[in-house]
Structure 1
């Protein structure tokens, strides 16, 4: 029976790869039907320009602000002993659909080129009123690509519809990815301790960037928040004891908007201040630097004339189990300064990725008839974009990928667009570039 099950998975895997290839061909054909005036990207973002002046670097300074240990201890005492990732994965209660079971509209979110090699779709009923955003994986968390024995994907979502009181709620899907043919998940609500750990409030922010590194999860915060990043501890996840739609302490226990788990922030990074201080719009991990680094892009308005900046911070050299593991490198005053800062002519920047001195940025195309975006590779020499087959169309990337995550142990880039989660080899992105 085990052999037959394995053969069925292999046959389904081959069928799925063939299906994805066919989907890509159909998307390519659709792209070639778009007129050149609609499909060709006007203007390359050009080469990256390194910015080295104090005026360029100083506004990017972050100040680390840990939540007092006493507050976290009080919350754990009230809610019960925290749990870790393994416990959360053992209680996954929802499933993603394989690409072959996705709708035509969901598959149109896939890139025309390069071709996705893995694709899944979320349950529309489970995500109605929520907007997909950041993504990170156990490939970020540990260099062997696993967290303990598990392959894990974390998918961030922000509440964008429904009651006004729910707007801005942030949650993360913990996805058990051990079996590529059957991904399961459960939700964890992101919260922030208040009143000395006697209660917590929801994190109300658009989750456009997220990196899981060692034992910490760093999550971007909106411009309306004085913090650029919130820090979560992957070993400090609290069980909710009530199923109310409320968030925090309720009569009879603790509620997490109806979810089983709440994850309280253990710290944050506050921006330096001033009108020129950008919040990271998207973040990702770069394992090709020494030490490993957090790279960030500036979120720019679709109709604005301000070009984006790209920059990086070093992670602390702390080893797993160390108090500094997973945190940014700081000086004695708790300041984290950017190691590198670049200016790019790209606007409408969303996702960012850096690997071996090369930067990749995804750009949105809100309002475009084909619904696709562009993916550019940039360095100090210039910029290149993936193109759709033999024609000159460059709008062949997925349209709303706010986050890019490189799973180094497998060579795959993971991202999501709307209801669709997908992956493809970084090598295929390189091949698709002009």
Structure 2
């Protein structure tokens, strides 16, 4: 099928449908960009202050809603069965450009310090389109202990439709897609697009997921992304990558089979985590979720989250533990009522964060938290800080001793433990920019660069 340039689980199953708007998941990912003077190094996000108030911790509670297995099995069967990540990558139809083949403008988006050891630029129209924006990244290093899925090293990049692009039809607004990238050969990364969708009509149909992909984490067989305006999370199962056999502009069941707006593959949502209080935003409400990352150094592994860009006060960062039950792979730990509580939470002195990572070094008792900050305007480098309960240090530029030397327009962090690399991608600004680069730096280099 041609890929178009405009790439267009009981009662709990009922609870999930309550989170849908119309016929599609209304939850969408919150874009995470902040406004802060800290990029210049004039201020710091300060120490991490533990949140101890039970009422405040309670605001972080989520409620799990899973689609019924019957619904998912019906859709999977009707669409010909699971194609799988490997099936998509075997037919990868885009090749990323190596750093040497990136334009000067693209290379200018890379961090000044520490120097990226791997950098790749997108193919063809994906590097230039104003209709789509890169938002988040996660890898099979997050997903599995050996860093592989089906024998491949895989990177997943989340992109959202740019609803502000001139002339875009209403039907395209809010669309979300992921690039499945085969990174097995570091010299030749290939990828293919997959559209995110939501089952409907008991699995006899699906509709588009409207999201902006502000945060994304792969753990075991599940992909979790931030939901609409940061109001919770959406869950996808990588064992249920399905193929649409009809090439048309429609999304869902059509005459002759299923169509996915010109995409050949879809990834249907299998659940959601919604704020237990019903809404998010504001000091007395559940925080809207911005960035996400995985901490494999916690026990059990945990999903790390930051408050979204709407925060105007001391931004919160916190974590949810993953379930250890054998029949709940990749799902968060919940009680018998489906409630998911934060394992720990902190406040920073930052007005907002752009990317977060929690990591406990070997031999250490507590985790370091890495947080990104982005400048207001385009064409400027961001700042990367490491925070703990004793203070904060930023990556410092050797040339002028300033702190604005992280990449441009970056809003997602992902640590690949098997290689020791910190992955991110640029181009996550509020406005479309041409500096779209996927790159990695060794975490040890980040630590050595701290001022």
The TM-score with structure 1 as length reference comes to 0.87
- Structure 2 gaps of 5+ residues are 1-36, 361-366, 428-435
- Measured after TM superposition, the shift of residue 279 of structure 1 is 2.7
| 2:339 aligned to which of 335, 338, 342 | 335
8 A contact 1:413–1:424 mirrored in 2? yes
1:141-184 per-position Cα deviation (integer Å, ceiling 9, x unaligned): 11111113110000000010332321211101000101111000
Q: Which of 252, 261, 266 matches 1:257?
A: 261
The equivalent of 2:9 in structure 1 is none
Matches within 5 A, 1:149-168: 149-160=151-162, 161=165, 162-168=168-174
State the match for 1:76 in structure 2: 76
2:27 maps to which residue? none
Query: Equivalents in 2 of 1:261, 1:219: separation in Å?
Result: 18
Q: Is the 8 A contact 1:347 1:363 kept in 2?
A: no
What is the aligned partner in structure 2 of residue 134 from structure 1? 136
Q: Are residues 38 and 174 of structure 1, via their aligned partners in 2, closer, same or farther at CA, if it must alter by over 3 Å?
A: closer
User: Tell me, what secondary structure is at the counterpart of 1:297?
Assistant: strand
Q: Which residue of 2 aligns with 1:4?
A: none
Displacement of 1:238: 0.7
CA distance in 1, matches of 2:93, 2:213: 23
How far does residue 306 in structure 1 lie from its aligned partner after superposition? 2.1
Task: Deviation per CA, 1:276-333: give whole Å up to 9, x if none.
Answer: 11232111110111111110011124xx632311000101113xxx320111111111
Q: What SS does structure 2 have at the residue aligned with 1:74?
A: helix
Distance 1:286 1:74 in 2: 34
Q: Which runs of 5+ in 1 are unaligned?
A: 1-36
Deviations 1:382-424 (A, max 9, x none): 1111111142311111122111000001000111002100001
After TM superposition, list the pairs within 5 Å mapping 1:3-42 onto structure 2: 40-42=40-42
CA distance in 2, matches of 1:217, 1:38: 32
Q: Per the alignment, do residues 38 and 63 of structure 1 end up closer, same or farther by CA in structure 2, a change over 3 Å counting?
A: closer
Aligned residues: CA RMSD: 1.6
Equivalent residue in structure 1 for 2:370, among 353, 360, 367: 360
User: Which residue number in structure 2 is paired with residue 427 of structure 1?
Assistant: 444
Does residue 312 of the first structure (1) align with residue 319 of the second (2)? yes
With over 3 angstroms needed to count, the CA separation of the structure-2 counterparts of 1:381 and 1:235, relative to structure 1, is same
Aligned residue pairs total 390
Cα distance in 2 for partners of 1:210, 1:305 equals 23
Q: Distance in 2 between matches of 1:54 and 1:336?
A: 14
In the other structure, the counterpart of 1:206 is 212
CA distance in 2, matches of 1:330, 1:156: 26
Cα separation, 1, equivalents of 2:313 and 2:250: 39
Partner of 1:121: 121
The answer to whether residue 338 in structure 2 is matched with residue 323 in structure 1 is no
Contact 1:222–1:279 (8 Å) recurs in 2: no
1:282 aligns with 2:291: yes
Contact 2:134 2:159 (C-alpha < 8 Å) held by counterparts? yes
Cα separation, 1, equivalents of 2:180 and 2:287:
29
- SS of equivalent residue, structure 2 residue 354: strand
Q: CA deviation at 1:123?
A: 2.2
Report how far residue 38 of structure 1 moved: 11
User: What is the alpha-carbon distance in structure 1 between the residues aligned to residue 202 and residue 194 of structure 2?
Assistant: 22
Q: Which residue of 2 aligns with 1:402?
A: 411
Contact 1:41–1:393 (CA under 8 A) maintained in structure 2: yes
Match of 2:239 among 235, 238, 243: 235
1:41 offset after TM fit, Å?
2.5
Residue 9 of structure 1 is matched in structure 2 by none
* Bigger radius of gyration among the two: 1
Q: What is the distance in 1 between the residues matched to 2:132 and 2:39? A: 29
CA 1:334–1:252: 2 relative to 1, 3 Å: same
Q: CA contact under 8 A between 1:280 and 1:297: conserved in structure 2?
A: yes
Which residue of 1 is the match for residue 67 of structure 2? 67
**C-alpha separation in 2, matches of 1:112 and 1:347:** 24
